[in-house]
Structure 1
């Protein structure tokens, strides 16, 4: 490694490069006030880092380094552009110091990618068309939406680029849309770094690229990223055909019910995702959508705990439909979810002929004698359920009669909980289970 050096030191360096088998060289500073440098043609350099240089110096080095695969430039001073130099010879191109604030300077970087200079003039490659471009680093520049559009159009069909770093630029949501649309069909790009740009969809567009193309990723954490319903559409589209992702963390974002619907519709045919965490989002269907994914795809799931999640009867209907085809779950806790009589009806329909379900907790769900009748009818036929908790609901003597009649034919149920949970005068007016001697008689007759 050499800091800023005079011509004598450079001459020594170049002599070493020319006469040895040096493969890696790092020059912190070149004197870019002097464009003319003597660079040896015969060198074995494969990797080189330049702290700063002029575009002319960059061209001389590249033209005369036939084995170079990696070139890192910290600050390339571009004044007059010469489009004859191609960057196809690079494996990694890092221009962390270049200021790319308009199409002209982007042109200087991107048009050379397609130049026939190396193939036609230098005739470098005998066994392949060109060495592959894998990484482009354009971070910490001033690229805006127009630059992103140009970049997207140029690289959208690139077949070898796997990493594109555009972090710390000035790309807004329009630019994010250009990038997303351009790379939607690209199957090669794995990592698109858009951190610290102006657009609010940076994280989403980056994640969508990775979900589509990274065949090794099984877990993705996107919690607390202010992802909205609009942003989650990008994710939903990318997840549609994903076959490797098993865990997706989206908790504590800003996803509402519209976003939940996008995810639910898209993931209906997905058989790979096992866990989708939507906790802490404003949408009321978070728990249901997460549970639906788990019920459909997790073949080891036997216990489903969903207590105190405000599921309601609509969410219960969604769960019930899934339970009709599930033969793995044996226990479900829906306590404190306000499912009401309608929710009880949905569950009763789903469990009518289920042979694996053994335990159901419906504590504190505002179920009256109407809902109990649906459950009682289900118990007449079900031969698997051994325990039902109906405590702290709104069951009266008529509900007890329905249960008593059902139990006369049911020989499987071993535990039935009908506790009211309120023992003091302060809660005497609450509408919880109130079963009198008459209701107790109905139950007693069934137990004889």
Structure 2
């Protein structure tokens, strides 16, 4: 919440937390705490045994504030969720937090979204993950991890057996970063959700991730939206889906898979028996290719959600989708947002749904 309590307010709250034994959740987002106000809260955390959720995003705590948090995390035995996004934390702060992760045995979720963490910071966090046995979710979206930082995190994943959710959205990791993570997925047996949106991943990166999906048996959610994946990359991912038995959700919105890419995924849907959600919005698929996806629905028995919005789909594809819906008994959600199916296409779909 936004109250602008500042350093003095942080001191008062810290004093109260030293003695409080009932509060479990504290949200102080956007309150101008700064590093000094954070220090008072951290002093309290070293003694408090009941607070399990602390959110202090948008407080300009910086590396010094991260150091205070690190010191408290090495002693605190209650906190399970810490949100310190949007705080101008850089590599030095990440180093302190990485050290804390090596010692802490209670933290489950750590949000570091939109900070200033780059390669060396990623390495320190990865070192922490290599030793940590409790953290299951880390959000590093909107930092400056890049390919070199992704390599460090990938190395950490090879030794970590507890992290299940990794968010690296908008980190410019590129094809090389995707390759490093793909290599890690071949060995990692814990990660279930990987978010790689807005990362300049192209066909080569998609190939490495596809190769990993052929072997990986734990990842259930993969987000590759807003990248640069074309038909060739879609071919690798599509072929992987014909062998993969774990993935349930795949998001490829705002790529460039086009006609051939859609055909590759249509072929995959004919054989895949685990995928329940696929989103292909804004991919220049258009009618000819969308018809293949519609036909695949007549054979697929597991997909429950198909999103095809903003693809230039018209009434012809709407008719094919309507025909598929008459045969398909599992699809529950169909998104045709921002399409041009018109009244005729809408009528076809309406008739099929009766």
Q: Which ranges of structure 2 fall in alignment gaps of 5 or more residues?
A: 136-159, 330-354
Once the two structures are TM-superposed, the CA of residue 115 in structure 1 deviates from its matched residue by 0.8
1:348 aligned residue: none
Secondary structure of 2:78's aligned partner: coil
Unaligned runs of 5+ in 1: 120-129, 299-448
Pick closer, same or farther for the CA change 1:253–1:155 going to 2, 3 Å: same
1:138 paired with 2:151, answer no
TM superposition shift of 1:171: 3.4
Question: CA separation of 1:256/1:147 partners in 2, compared to 1, >3 Å: closer, same or farther?
Answer: same
- 1:91 aligns with 108
Cα drift, residue 260 of structure 1? 8.0
Which of these residues, 259, 262, 266, is aligned with residue 228 of structure 1? 259
* 8 Å CA contact 1:18, 1:43 repeated in 2: no
Of the three residues 194, 216, 222, the one matched with 1:192 is 222
Residue 34 of structure 2 aligns to a residue whose secondary structure is: coil
The alpha-carbon distance between structure 1 residues 251 and 110, as it changes in their structure 2 partners (threshold 3 A), is closer
Distance 1:113 1:193, change over 3 A: same
Distance, in Å, in 2 between the alignment partners of 1:26 and 1:84 is: 25
Q: Does 1:23 align with 2:24?
A: yes
Q: What's 1:109 paired with?
A: 125
Q: 1:240 aligns to what?
A: 271
Cα deviation code 1:331-355 (max 9, x no counterpart):
xxxxxxxxxxxxxxxxxxxxxxxxx
Question: By percentage of residues, which structure has more helix?
Answer: 2
Would the aligned equivalents of 1:137 and 1:165 in 2 still touch at CA under 8 Å?
Answer: yes
Bigger RCO of structures 1 and 2 (CA < 8 A, at least 6 apart):
2
Quick one: structure 1 residues 221 and 186, their matched pair in 2 at CA, closer, same or farther if it must change by over 3 Å?
A: closer
Aligned to 1:40: 46
The answer on whether the counterparts of 1:94 and 1:137 sit within 8 Å (CA) in structure 2 is no
Contact persistence 1:70–1:90 (CA under 8 A): yes
Matches within 5 A, 1:335-414: none
In 1, distance between residues paired with 2:115 and 2:185? 19
CA RMSD of aligned residues (A): 5.5
CA distance in 2, matches of 1:188, 1:295: 33
Task: Identify the residue that residue 178 of structure 1 maps to in structure 2.
Answer: 208
* Contact 2:24-2:52 at 8 Å conserved across structures: yes
Bigger CA radius of gyration? 1
Q: From the superposition, tell whether residues 58 and 137 of structure 1 become closer, same or farther in structure 2 (CA, over 3 Å).
A: farther
Tell me what 1:126 maps to.
none
